[in-house]
Amino acid sequence: MNKKRNIVTVLGWIFVVCIIIFSFINKAEKPPATAELYTMNTIVNIKIYGNNKEIILKELIKKIEEINSYIDSFSPSSDIYKINENAGIKTVAVHPETIAIIEKALELAHNTNGAFNPLITPLSQIWGFRDKNYRIPSEKEIEDALNLTDYNDIIINKDTVFLKKEGEALDLGGIAKGYTLDCLKEILDKMNGERALINIGGNILLYGTPPDKQWKIGIKNPREDGIIGALNIEGTKFISTSGDYERFFIKDNKRYCHLISPFNGYPADKIFSVTVVSDKGYYGDALSTAFFITGKNDALQDVKKFEVDIIVIDKDLNVFCSEELKDSFIPENEKG
């Protein structure tokens, strides 16, 4: 009897161990819940890992579409469209989320001395980046548009927004994606998300810790297919990239990109791209735009002020990293 009992006990333990091993393997091999959608005027890719990944995925998509419904400047039903249509005419009551995004845009506008400017739309329009009818505007057009880019003309009063001058127009495209990622991180926190990788048009949320302990993020080569190197990142971070290869046109062998300087009215051309690694999505999103405008030297000087890290690719395809990223960036020609 004791022998039989021992055999049963051993078999029982083997069964338990097998269940544990199977559960571990099964957990490790479970594919993520994924989604790809077009919204916020870009492609959004989502990968969610964990036991409640499908439920979390639905909530993330719902939040993305909700925010887009407020800030889509091309949609007549959005808050931003209504604000722009009533510029210089009357105040517009908007959703609290819209107020929150505009307030953060103004925060970054002030902190970057205007390098990030949420009233850049008049300049984008005359260069053809709004309707894709690209052209080089006259000096008079640029001067007139610059007169409509004073972000101090954005007046917030409780739940209303007013633009002082007719012709002024908000564009939150340089901050809304990062802000949205902040909101998605909050959802992941509340719903006990395990791990996620979310890319909203070059603005990325790395959430949690991958199996090999580090995220590996490729940095695009701004002049060729493929990457110029890879960045190893630990833990939860936001990655935002601005480059002159995203939207541009070429006239007389000169490239004109959609990132326009609010200081002179011309497309910025000091560098090819800048990538910002930050702890706040909206911060990195706006700063990648601002650093692209100001260029390599100012950007590298400002990283401590803003408590972010950056990778800058200059016009000779040289790569410059802020101090904290120097050991984390692996050039493509050094891999292996």
Looking at the fold, whether 243 and 195 belong to one and the same domain comes out as yes
Looking at the fold, whether 120 and 188 belong to one and the same domain comes out as no
Q: What is the DSSP letter of 111?
A: H
Strands 195-200 and 254-257: unpaired
Q: What pLDDT shows up at residue 9?
A: 43
Looking at the fold, whether 207 and 291 belong to one and the same domain comes out as yes
Looking at the fold, whether 144 and 215 belong to one and the same domain comes out as no
Looking at the fold, whether 147 and 293 belong to one and the same domain comes out as no
CA distances from 81 to 69, 107, 134 (A): 10, 21, 22
Contact yes or no for 151/118 (Cβ under 8 A): yes
CA distances from 52 to 25, 57, 147, 190 (A): 18, 9, 51, 12
Q: What pLDDT shows up at residue 55?
A: 97
CATH number of the CATH domain containing 183: 3.10.520.10
Q: What pLDDT shows up at residue 333?
A: 74
Looking at the fold, whether 204 and 324 belong to one and the same domain comes out as yes
- Report the chain's C-alpha Rg in angstroms: 24
Looking at the fold, whether 279 and 230 belong to one and the same domain comes out as yes
Question: Is there a domain that residue 276 lies in?
Answer: yes
Tokens representing 206? 């790395």
Q: Select from 98, 133, 163 the last residue of a domain.
A: 163
Looking at the fold, whether 183 and 59 belong to one and the same domain comes out as yes
Q: What pLDDT shows up at residue 212?
A: 86
Question: Is there a domain that residue 156 lies in?
Answer: yes
Looking at the fold, whether 39 and 131 belong to one and the same domain comes out as no
Question: Is there a domain that residue 169 lies in?
Answer: no
Looking at the fold, whether 308 and 240 belong to one and the same domain comes out as yes
Mean pLDDT by 10 residues, the chain (336 residues): 44 38 46 96 95 96 98 96 98 98 98 98 97 97 98 97 98 96 98 96 95 92 95 96 95 96 98 98 98 97 95 97 94 70
CA distances from 20 to 15, 24, 28, 125, 248 (A): 9, 6, 12, 61, 54
Q: What pLDDT shows up at residue 30?
A: 82
Q: 0.85 cut: is pTM over it?
A: yes
The Cβ of residue 209 has, within 10 Å, a number of other Cβ atoms equal to: 14
Q: What's the residue count for the chain?
A: 336
Question: Is there a domain that residue 29 lies in?
Answer: no
Q: What is the DSSP letter of 262?
A: T
Question: Is there a domain that residue 179 lies in?
Answer: yes
Q: Select from 163, 196, 225 the last residue of a domain.
A: 163
Instruction: Please report the sign of the dihedral spanned by the C-alpha atoms of residue 305, residue 308, residue 314, residue 318.
Output: positive
Looking at the fold, whether 106 and 215 belong to one and the same domain comes out as no
Q: Select from 163, 188, 221 the last residue of a domain.
A: 163
CATH number of the CATH domain containing 124: 1.10.3980.10
Distance separating alpha carbons of residues 195 and 209, to the nearest angstrom: 6
Question: Is there a domain that residue 13 lies in?
Answer: no
The domain total for the chain is: 2
Question: Is there a domain that residue 107 lies in?
Answer: yes
Closest by CA position to 176, among listed 48, 305, 65: 65
Cβ neighbours of residue 30 under 8 Å, at least 6 residues apart? 49
Looking at the fold, whether 125 and 246 belong to one and the same domain comes out as no
The whole domain housing 302 covers 35-67+175-251+272-334
Question: Is there a domain that residue 103 lies in?
Answer: yes
